[in-house]
Amino acid sequence: MIISAPTALYKSILPKSESDPSNVTFTVSSNDPPRSSQNSQIISSVEELRQLPERVVSQDDREKTYGTYVFSVAAGSQTQVGLGTKSFEVGQILEFEEEIPGTVTPLEVPEEVDIQHNTNLLDYQMLGLTQAETNLLIKDAKNDFNKILDELNLTMTNVNNYQIKVQDNQKEINETRKAKDAAKVVLEYSGSTAAGEIYDKLVIREAELLRQRQIIIDELNALNSTAKDLYNKTLELQEVVR
């Protein structure tokens, strides 16, 4: 429900005492709901942009209310927008050169990490652990598990952004090569000095983009490795996090 006005507008139908029904059902009909006769101001849009206050209830206290863990779900987003240029033109002649670009290591992490915690229950007493040791292990494992999930979300977001960077870099290389090939034809056909200068400039630009591509691919591979390591740690901790 999106509340755009103070809930006092519905004060007349809200529970007033403990004996009143605690649940309020909002229905859609042709009749307007009962409203207060008092005038109330609409909440300013500035309040929507105001930073949320700090947590009043800690994560541990929330878990006491909701019980044991059942599922943990994590997924990375994408914060970078890619270029809208085409990679290739319709009917463009593609030449396969000896240049071999760097290889991107496949990401061995699901796009959405879905971990189930209630499939097994360890017998810590059989393992020789006391109740105090068990509680300490579970508490520390939960804290580390939540921190690792946060790191995994951030890493997956960076992975998605770097995948866009790789695509954008390749598009820039393709665009540069199109202009370079056109400048080469002009230079060979008319012998234009300006075309020669443009051609040399585009050759330098192409070499720079190729170096950038390798750097981006190396950074992406490092992020993929980090994401895999974090994901494996969550799988190891799930046996203790309950």
**CA–CA separation, 26 and 162 (whole Å):** 46
Helix axes 131-190, 193-237, angle to 10 degrees: 170
What pLDDT shows up at residue 208? 94
Written as one letter, the residue type at 159 is V
The distance of Cα 159 from the centroid of its chain, to the nearest Å, equals 9
Is residue 72 within 8 Å of 115, Cβ to Cβ?
Answer: yes
The continuous run of DSSP H or E covering 45 comes out as: helix 45-49
pLDDT, tens only, 189-233: 887 888 889 999 999 999 999 999 999 999 999 999 999 999 999
For the entire predicted model, the pTM comes to: 0.65
Q: What is the rounded average pLDDT for all residues in the chain?
A: 80
pLDDT of residue 240 exceeding 90, the answer is: no
Q: What are phi and psi of 113, to 5 degrees?
A: -80, 120
Flag the least confident range among 13-17, 62-66, 96-100, 165-169: 96-100
pLDDT, tens only, 30-61: 666 666 677 767 777 777 778 877 777 776 77
C-alpha dist (Å) from residue 36 to 13, 45, 53, 97, 104: 10, 23, 30, 76, 63
List residues bridging with 115 in a β-sheet: 72
Provide the residue ranges of all domains of the chain, joining segments of one domain with +: 72-88+99-237
Rounded mean pLDDT, 137-155: 90
Is residue 75 within 8 Å of 107, Cβ to Cβ?
Answer: no
- Give the residue carrying structure tokens 């929507």: 48
